């Protein structure tokens, strides 16, 4: 039966790069006979302008009804001074919360043609292909007690609490182990069990789950500070890294810079499998709405296109189509085409549309 896809382009460069995904979908329809049941709607500043809210309940319902959501980005300087409930960014926060998206998947993959764009030496990152799985709805960003208190002596203290329950740890570890089975079959679990009780429990729960259900996957453990060091020293030692909210926030940003450009990086956020075996999922580039280049036709559409490839792989199990899109992207880069953000000497600078068209041309050759 036809897969239901909700498309939310959002603000800034969002709609521009989403048009290039539409080009890929047109190719899938033409060349592979694959069609989706597509709904498109407004979020962020685009929704505020028309409906007065960053996201309507109707859109949240559409997201629930869809098999997957492809998101662009939200954020518009026009609304920067609006009240906190009228910020475009609320749209993505609300979607994550309403769909219960607890696992954030951030691949850091270095395309051969871009190995020299990394902040590290090309020989350290060439062939890099890691996946960081970050828990996103628990941990220190949400734990109670929290707040700022005034003490009897008039000084104040800020409080946040790292809390993880066994089900919270188990469900995100499960995502990591399942992913590893589709990749290089290795998981590294990251915490700070040397100084944190929540880390001690994390390690214990991951170890138990592994022994019970995932003994075929190779499991290692690493302290978070060492992991930061290892990611810079020898990032290729990792396949899947699974970690909590705070460490995952830092480590995934660190890992993304190993690959060079923001315009190349996709992501996914997954929720819990429901009674019908469906898993809510949202796919988006890690970059924002890039207001500085919006409307100029310069944005790199590859992160959005690669987010769509992730969607095909993880939500629709269309492994072959996902791999074809990724290969087409690699070939376009190997041919020397570059948007300004990934420009290097001797390469041809192209805009958003030419890049999207080039991916389709490569798809036609596969």
Just list the catalytic residues: 141, 192, 225, 249, 253
Which listed range, 107-115, 187-195, 200-208, 291-299, lies at the site for ligand NAI (CB under 6 A)?
291-299
Contact 270, 102 (CB under 8 A): yes
If the CB atoms of residues 199 and 301 are measured against ligand NAI, the closer one turns out to be: 301
Contact with ligand NAI (CB under 6 A) among 28, 169, 290, 360: 290
The residues near 190 (Cβ < 8 Å, ≥ 6 apart) are 221, 222, 223, 224, 227, 241, 242, 243, 247, 251
Question: Could you say whether residue 284 binds ligand NAI (CB under 6 A)?
Answer: yes
Count of residues engaged in binding ligand NAI, rule: CB under 6 A? 21
Instruction: Name the residue nearer to ligand NAI (CB basis): 92 or 217.
Output: 92
Peptide bond into 185 cis (omega under 30): no
Task: Please provide residue 301's backbone torsions phi and psi, each rounded to the nearest 5 degrees.
Answer: -85, 0
Binding residues: 96, 106, 134, 225, 249, 253, 288-300
Q: Provide the minimum distance between the beta carbon of 54 and ligand NAI in the complex, in angstroms, as a whole number.
A: 11
242 is an interface residue for ligand NAI by CB under 6 A: no
Q: Which of 42, 68, 73, 266 binds ligand NAI (CB under 6 A)?
A: 73
Q: How many CA atoms lie within 13 A of 66 on its CB side?
A: 27
**CB nearer ligand NAI, residue 193 or residue 258:** 258
Question: Rule CB under 6 A: is residue 267 a binding residue for ligand NAI?
Answer: no
Q: Is 53 in the site for ligand NAI (CB under 6 A)?
A: no
Residues marked as binding for Mg(2+)?
225, 249, 253
Residues within window 319-348 making contact with ligand NAI, judged by CB under 6 A: 339, 341
Near ligand NAI by CB under 6 A: residue from 245, 300, 315, 331: 300
Instruction: Say whether residue 96 binds ligand NAI (CB under 6 A).
Output: no
Which one of residues 8, 90, 92, 241 is an interface residue with ligand NAI (CB under 6 A)? Answer: 92
CA–CA gap between residue 7 and residue 40 (Å, rounded): 5
**Interacting residues toward ligand NAI by CB under 6 A:** 13, 73-75, 89, 92, 262-263, 284, 287-293, 299-300, 303, 339, 341
């Amino acid at each position: 039966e036809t897969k239901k896809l909700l498309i939310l382009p959002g603000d800034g460069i969002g709609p521009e790069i989403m048009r290039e995904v539409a080009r890929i979908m047109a190719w899938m329809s033409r060349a592979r006979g694959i069609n989706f049941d597509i709904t498109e709607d407004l979020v962020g500043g685009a929704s505020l302008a028309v409906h007065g809210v960053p996201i309507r309940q109707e859109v949240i319902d559409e997201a629930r009804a869809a098999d997957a959501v492809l998101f662009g980005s939200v954020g518009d300087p026009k609304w920067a001074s609006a009240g906190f409930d009228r910020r475009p960014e609320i749209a993505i926060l609300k979607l994550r919360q309403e769909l219960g998206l607890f696992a954030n998947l951030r691949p850091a993959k270095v395309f051969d043609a871009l190995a020299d764009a990394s902040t590290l030496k090309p020989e350290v990152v060439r062939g890099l292909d890691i996946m960081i799985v970050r828990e996103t709805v628990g941990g220190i960003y949400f734990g109670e007690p929290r707040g700022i208190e005034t003490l009897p002596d008039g000084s104040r203290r800020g409080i946040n609490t790292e809390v993880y329950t066994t089900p919270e740890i188990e469900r995100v570890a499960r995502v990591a182990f399942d992913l590893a089975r589709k990749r290089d079959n290795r998981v590294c679990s990251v915490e700070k069990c040397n100084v944190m009780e929540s880390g001690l429990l994390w390690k214990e729960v991951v170890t138990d789950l592994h022994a019970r259900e995932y003994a075929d996957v190779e499991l290692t453990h690493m302290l978070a500070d060492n992991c930061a060091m290892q990611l810079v020293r020898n990032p290729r030692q990792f396949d899947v890294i699974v970690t909590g909210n705070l460490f995952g926030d830092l480590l995934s940003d660190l890992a993304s810079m190993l690959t060079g450009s923001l315009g190349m990086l996709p992501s996914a956020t997954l929720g819990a499998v429901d009674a019908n075996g469906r898993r809510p999922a949202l796919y988006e580039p890690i970059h924002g709405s890039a207001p500085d280049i919006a409307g100029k036709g310069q944005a790199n559409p590859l992160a959005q296109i690669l987010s769509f490839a992730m969607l095909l792989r993880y939500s629709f199990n269309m492994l072959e189509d996902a791999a074809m899109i990724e290969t087409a992207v690699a070939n376009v880069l190997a041919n020397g085409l570059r948007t300004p953000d990934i420009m290097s000497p001797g390469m041809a600078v192209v805009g958003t549309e030419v890049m999207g068209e080039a991916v389709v041309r490569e798809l036609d050759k596969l």
